[in-house]
Structure 1
Amino acid sequence: MKATKETPIFEFDESSDLPLWVQLRNRMAYLITSGFYKPGDKLPTVRKYAADLRIAYNTVSKAYMGLERDGFVTTVRGSGVFVSDSEKVREGDGRTAALVDDFVKSCLEEGMALDDIPRLVTACVRRMEREHEKQK
């Protein structure tokens, strides 16, 4: 089993209708399926994650329970929470890839060139970052 990785930076979307635990669960599932956390990696303890993110212990605990229920992690009593070596983790859940595929296809159908799509995404991300900074 591998050592615990540091808690990645994560900001909650306070304007979202999704509860904090769901946002955290979704972010952690993405970190697992994208390869940031690899099968066998030990996740930070619930208490450490809660302290690092400055959120309630129960919020992190609920996110971890959701990840375990969905097969992303396994809890080893007395040792911690580890990323599962399951098919779901190796291949990802496919939702994000499907969203990206749909987006790219839609752009192409609108007449955009493939080279223009990354610029569009970059511009959108920068605009959202500026809006997020204004809200702080």
Structure 2
Amino acid sequence: MVAKETPTFSFCDQSDLPLWVQLRDRMEFLINSGFYEPGEKLPTVRKYAADLHIAYNTVSKAYMGLERDGYVTTVRGSGVFVNDLDSLPREGDRVDALVEEFVKSCLKEGMTYDDVPKLVSKHVRRMKRSHEEK
């Protein structure tokens, strides 16, 4: 089987999302769209990094995110392979994982468990006001 060309990708410098998240989301799209098919081996982290002119660690983190969310499986010594879409977690599971990751990040920044809901409430109120003003 001939390896596919690495798809082009434009990163958004104005985005609040880190580069690895943008790449992870793009790769999720490529898997969901069928560009990468179940069982297909993804390009190596080094190849993806070289082709996109980005850091190896950025691609590695994106791959780890895809694996955490069930899109790919790493087979030591063989590579990273696309999982069957039917085995993906339900959308609610993904949101739960995002919330858990957010809370852990807040705790690492020195916040307490009691601080987290206050922070979220503050931002929800601000976003709601902004939305209602439109």
TM-score range, shorter chain: 0.5 to 0.7
With over 3 angstroms needed to count, the CA separation of the structure-2 counterparts of 1:88 and 1:27, relative to structure 1, is farther
1:72 maps to 71
| Conserved 8 A contact 1:12-1:23 | yes
| Conserved 8 A contact 1:25-1:63 | yes
SS at 2:28 equivalent: helix
Counterparts of 2:28 and 2:87 in 1: how far apart (Å)? 10
SS at 2:62 equivalent: helix
Query: Cα distance, 1:86 vs. partner?
Result: 4.0
Q: Higher relative contact order by CA 8 Å / sep ≥ 6: 1 or 2?
A: 1
Q: How many residues align?
A: 91
2:21 maps to 22
Counterparts of 1:64 and 1:52 in 2: how far apart (Å)? 15
1:60 maps to 59
Counterparts of 1:40 and 1:73 in 2: how far apart (Å)? 9
The residue type paired with residue 36 of structure 1 is: F
Gaps of 5+ in 1: 94-136
2:111 maps to none
Query: Cα distance, 1:4 vs. partner?
Result: 3.5
1:131 maps to none
With over 3 angstroms needed to count, the CA separation of the structure-2 counterparts of 1:72 and 1:3, relative to structure 1, is farther
Query: Cα distance, 1:88 vs. partner?
Result: 4.9
Q: CA RMSD in A?
A: 2.0
TM-score, normalization: structure 2?
A: 0.63
Which runs of structure 2 are paired with 1:49-128 in the superposition (5 Å)? 49-88=48-87
1:42 maps to 41
The residue type paired with residue 84 of structure 1 is: N
With over 3 angstroms needed to count, the CA separation of the structure-2 counterparts of 1:88 and 1:26, relative to structure 1, is farther
Gaps of 5+ in 2: 92-134
Q: Any idea what the Cα deviations from partners look like across 1:52-87, whole Å, max 9, x if unmatched?
A: 000000000000000000000000110100101241
With over 3 angstroms needed to count, the CA separation of the structure-2 counterparts of 1:38 and 1:58, relative to structure 1, is same
Q: Which runs of 4+ in 1 moved over 3 A?
A: none
